[in-house]
Structure 1
Amino acid sequence: MAEKRKDVPVAKGEIERMPARAVSPFEQMDRMFDEFFGRGWLRPLRWERPVPSEFDWKLPKADVVDRKDDVVVRAEVPGVNKEDIEVSISGNTLTIKGESKHEEKEEKGDYWRCEISRGAFSRTLTLPAEVDESKVKAEMKDGMLELTLPKVEKAKRRTIRID
Structure 2
Amino acid sequence: MANEGKQETKGQELRKAPARALSPFEEMDRMFDQYFRRGWMRPWRFEWPSFPEASLPEMKLPKVDVVDRESELVVKAEMPGVEKNDLDISVSDNTVTIKGSTRHEEKEEKGDYYRCEISRGAFSRTVALPANVDGGKAKANFRDGVLELVLPKVEKSKRHSIKLA
> If the length of structure 2 is used for normalisation, what is the TM-score?
0.67
Q: Which of the numbers 39, 50, 63 marks the counterpart of 2:65? A: 63
Q: Which of the numbers 124, 147, 150 marks the counterpart of 2:149? A: 147
Is the Cα contact below 8 Å between 1:80 and 1:98 reproduced in 2?
yes
Greater shift, 58-67 or 111-120, is seen at 111-120
Residues 150-161 of structure 1 aligned to structure 2 (within 5 Å): 150-154=152-156
Q: Which of the numbers 9, 15, 18 marks the counterpart of 2:13? A: 9
5+ unaligned residues in a row in structure 1: which ranges?
1-5, 31-46, 156-163
Q: Which of the numbers 67, 74, 77 marks the counterpart of 1:75? A: 77
Count of aligned positions:
130
Q: Match of 1:92?
A: 94
Change (3 A) 1:50 1:85: farther
Q: Match of 2:120?
A: 118
Q: Match of 2:40?
A: 49
CA distances 1:98-129 after superposition (whole Å, capped 9, x unpaired): 00012111223111111111001111101111
Please state if 1:103 is matched with 2:94: no
AA aligned to 1:134 is: G
5+ unaligned residues in a row in structure 2: which ranges?
1-9, 43-54, 158-165
Greater shift, 76-85 or 146-155, is seen at 146-155
Q: Which of the numbers 135, 138, 158 marks the counterpart of 1:136? A: 138
